């Protein structure tokens, strides 16, 4: 009998070679067939309502003009939904899953409004650092759903990460 749990088996399935092998074969063996991995789409009543591209917080450059981001923006445009890029900072781990303290002990998210529909949900800037609770409340607000008060979320930001350079974002809310 194996000591491997179902969760371990699922993690292994999705981290070993399955997605990577498929993506590599698609890119290198199938010829010129552009494809794009989609990180997360929020739904309300089974209808897409928010599009998220997630990135690890170590990323220092976000290029909204590159082919990958252009495909994401075009997908969100076709769906007519806001598109956000979310840099996530999970406590205690860097992008190599090594234990570190540089991100502090609280989950936090740096949000970038990447299309006009997303920008319409931002108040003062096209970017914002949010605590876990602020981020989840932000999602519920966009979906026009009540926030369940029984959620246990990080409510503060303990370490302010460096902001990435964002290429292709209007300089101010007035410039859009």
* H or E stretch at 25: helix 18-29
pLDDT at position 62 is 86
Residue 152: phi and psi, rounded to 5, are -105, 105
| Per-residue pLDDT tens digits of the chain, which is 176 residues long | 455 655 555 445 444 545 666 667 766 777 777 777 788 999 999 999 999 999 887 777 888 898 889 999 999 999 999 999 999 887 766 556 666 655 566 788 999 999 999 999 998 889 999 988 899 999 999 999 999 888 888 787 777 777 778 888 876 554 44
Percent of the chain with pLDDT over 70: 72
Exposed/middle/buried for 152, CB within 10 Å: 0-12, 13-18, 19+?
A: exposed
Q: 111: how many CB neighbours lie within 10 A of its CB?
A: 22
């Amino acid at each position: 009998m194996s000591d491997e749990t179902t969760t371990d088996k699922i993690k292994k399935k999705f981290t070993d070679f399955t997605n990577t092998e498929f993506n590599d074969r698609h890119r290198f063996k199938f010829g010129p067939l552009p494809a794009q991995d989609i990180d997360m789409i929020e739904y309300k009543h089974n209808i897409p309502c928010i599009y998220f591209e997630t990135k690890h917080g170590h990323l220092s450059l976000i290029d909204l003009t590159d082919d990958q981001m252009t495909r994401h923006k075009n997908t969100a445009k076709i769906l007519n939904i806001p598109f956000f890029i979310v840099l996530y900072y999970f406590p205690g781990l860097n992008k190599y899953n090594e234990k570190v303290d540089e991100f502090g002990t609280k989950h936090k998210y740096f949000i970038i409004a990447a299309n006009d529909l997303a920008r319409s949900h931002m108040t003062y800037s096209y970017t914002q650092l949010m605590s876990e609770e602020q981020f989840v409340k932000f999602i519920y607000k966009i979906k026009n759903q009540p926030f369940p008060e029984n959620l246990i979320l990080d409510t503060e930001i303990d370490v302010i990460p460096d902001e990435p350079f964002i290429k292709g974002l209007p300089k101010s809310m007035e410039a859009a």
